[in-house]
């Protein structure tokens, strides 16, 4: 996150518009790979912000490798989210309004491995069951993209 880190030196914790990508990786059983985040200690999707000159798909591929040690043969664009509902305040105080492209990875290779200091653990979850300690932002994205229906109100 070199670009965002540089911006933060100039603007502090004020809200930024942050463009990025989120990658959904499903195993053979249809379970979704999530990472336990170091900053909030909850379960979230793999993804992050764009670096200058990078496409949304390139950011998805980079984040998938950096955070989980995985590569994918393809990235299917599912949807793009933006607006007031995409506001997030990180535990350390930084505020963002995300513009987030949601991709589904196809043909992933490798074994999920924590590769950076953003994640503590990687685990696959069955989306037919509520996920304990799911990041509220991740729950919103999965719900609005139609991946979870049976436990939206929990």
Stretch (H or E) spanning 102: strand 95-106
Please give the Cα distance from 78 to 153 (Å, whole number).
23
CB 76 within 8 A of CB 103: yes
pLDDT tens for each residue of the chain, 154 residues long: 588 888 999 999 999 999 999 999 999 999 999 999 998 899 999 999 999 999 999 999 999 999 999 999 999 999 999 999 999 898 889 999 999 999 999 999 999 999 988 899 999 999 999 999 999 889 999 999 999 976 655 4
């Amino acid at each position: 996150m070199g670009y965002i880190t540089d911006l933060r030196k100039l603007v502090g914790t004020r809200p930024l518009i942050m463009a990025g990508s989120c990658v959904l990786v499903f195993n053979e059983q249809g379970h979704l790979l999530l990472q336990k985040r170091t900053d909030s200690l909850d379960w979230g999707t793999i993804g992050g912000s764009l670096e200058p000159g990078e496409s949304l798909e390139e950011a998805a591929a980079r984040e998938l490798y950096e955070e989980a040690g995985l590569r994918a043969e393809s990235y299917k664009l599912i949807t793009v989210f933006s607006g007031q509902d995409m506001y997030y305040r990180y535990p350390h105080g930084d505020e963002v309004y995300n513009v987030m492209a949601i991709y589904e990875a196809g043909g992933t290779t490798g074994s999920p491995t924590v590769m950076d200091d953003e994640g503590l653990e990687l685990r696959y979850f069955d989306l037919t069951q509520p996920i304990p300690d799911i990041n509220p932002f991740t729950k919103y994205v999965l719900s609005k993209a139609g991946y979870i229906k049976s436990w939206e109100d929990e």
